[in-house]
Amino acid sequence: MKTQIKIPTVGESITEATISQWMKKNGDMVKRDEVLLMLETDKASVEVVAETAGKLSIAVNEGQTVAIGSVVGEIDSDGVGATASAPAASADVKPAPKPQAPPIPAKGAAPAAAAASGGDKPLSPAVKKLVTENSINTAAVQGTGKDGRLTKGDVLGVMNRGEAQAPAAAAAAPALKVSTPTPLPKAKTQGGGNETTREPMTKIRQTIAKRLVEAQHNAAILTTFNEIDMTNVMALRSKYKDSFEKKHGIKLGFMGFFVKACIEALKAYPKVNAYIEGTDLIYHHYYNIGMAVGTEKGLLVPIIKNAEALSLAEVEMSIKHYADKARDGKISLDDLNNGTFTISNGGVYGSLMSTPILNPPQSGILGLHKIEERPIAVAGKVEIRPMMYVALSYDHRVIDGAQSVGFLVKVKECMEDPARILLEI
């Protein structure tokens, strides 16, 4: 019995998907519920599993975009049937022999001296050796020895002065100093300096590009900055990280603190948790915090739903859960929907300062950066403290400058005095 492999419905408004990878090869035997292929839509990656066991026949190759409901292969549960196996390599085809490198010419001997003696005067063995090794034209050198013979000092003097000696045959011609231009260095390339590679954008990358441009065009984006002294929260983390992990089975990071600090700031400045719909402002009375996660396929923003109702440990568990799903390509559409505010941590890549772009239709996004020790003034004294720059990009149509600054100050206060998070003040 043959069972068709069809592209399933993967979400509302999604009409097509791209086959990003076949997990099995053409002709392989597969088991029921085994993952056959990975689909990539404009929002997420989706696994397609086998409905039955049998022999796999692939009809559509990787990289092709197909409509929802299309047949991309079949499974023959009897292990027999038409399977489009790849043609075997011809036994008559032999690899081309490697080209033989041209023979290397024998290294020639050093040129002999243009003249073995100064005129008819013989040279001593030591002088002759210097003349031969340095190609000195003895006819152009005035000897100072007995009967005008060349001495070792005469030859060394020529060498020290750096005088180029013309060959004896051209001794009568006036010496011309010719300047030779320095050759240009040649870049070492892998087969040419003008090579390019064309690669089609994935559905996810196309959507990311489209949304980023829409955000720039459709919102009045401004960014305000502040800096946070991380001393107290780092001390708190260092003190309790071992017992926290032992009790909850999850590491205590800084992101959980930032999520909780943002919730307190969103409560104080509700417009940052709102968005524009037509001519209305829609206020959210819940806090779905998006956590930007970098993956090989691009930036994904899974949502921690109702984060205000979660403990710090539950927030940390949620962050790890969604980060793992995103990097494994198993994020679902529901994981990415209905965010009200986003946090993006460029500090994990070493970023010191940046201006994050809004995640539409949200009105605010907080950018975190690298923690770096810097000298700051504390009670009239200069101290070295672990500091972090933070940036809030916001839609100025919704949020005024005073509100954006106040929001960021609230986050700063909560992080510099973590007890505020617990007390919700």
Low-confidence ranges of the chain (pLDDT < 50): 80-119, 164-173
For the chain, domain boundaries: 2-76, 119-159, 220-423
* Contact between 263 and 286 (Cβ < 8 Å): no
Integer angstrom CA distances of residue 285 from 168, 267, 303, 314? 100, 9, 16, 20
pLDDT of residue 53: 92
Cis ω on the peptide bond leading into residue 361 (within 30° of 0)?
yes
The model's pLDDT over 263-281, given as tens digits with 9 standing for 90+, comes to 999 999 999 999 999 999 9
The DSSP string of 202-216 is: PHHHHHHHHHHHHHH
pLDDT of residue 15: 79
Q: Measured in Å, how far apart are the chain's first and last C-alpha atoms? A: 66
Is 417 labeled as catalytic in the residue annotation?
no
Is 217 labeled as catalytic in the residue annotation?
no
Q: Of 256, 263, 260, which is closest to residue 284 (Cα–Cα)? A: 263
Report d(CA 178, CA 161) in Å as an integer: 18
The CATH architecture one would assign to domain 119-159 is Irregular (4.10)
Q: Which of 92, 154, 400, 417 is catalytic?
A: 400
The encoded tokens of residue 382 equal: 């200069």
Report d(CA 355, CA 238) in Å as an integer: 30
Nearest 10 degrees: Cα torsion 48, 51, 54, 60:
-40
Integer angstrom CA distances of residue 73 from 48, 86, 203? 12, 14, 22
The model's pLDDT over 109-135, given as tens digits with 9 standing for 90+, comes to 434 333 444 445 677 766 777 777 777
Provide φ and ψ at 138, rounded to 5°: -70, -20
What's the CATH superfamily of 220-423?
A: Chloramphenicol acetyltransferase-like domain (3.30.559.10)
Q: Which of 33, 324, 334, 396 is catalytic?
A: 396
Q: Of 303, 293, 292, which is closest to residue 365 (Cα–Cα)? A: 292
Specify the fold of 2-76: OB fold (Dihydrolipoamide Acetyltransferase, E2P) (2.40.50)
Radius of gyration from C-alpha coordinates of the chain: 38
Report d(CA 2, CA 424) in Å as an integer: 61
Do domains 2-76 and 220-423 share one topology? The answer is no
Strand-by-strand arrangement of the 45-49 sheet: 45-49, 35-40, 16-22, 65-67
Beta bridge partners of 221: 395
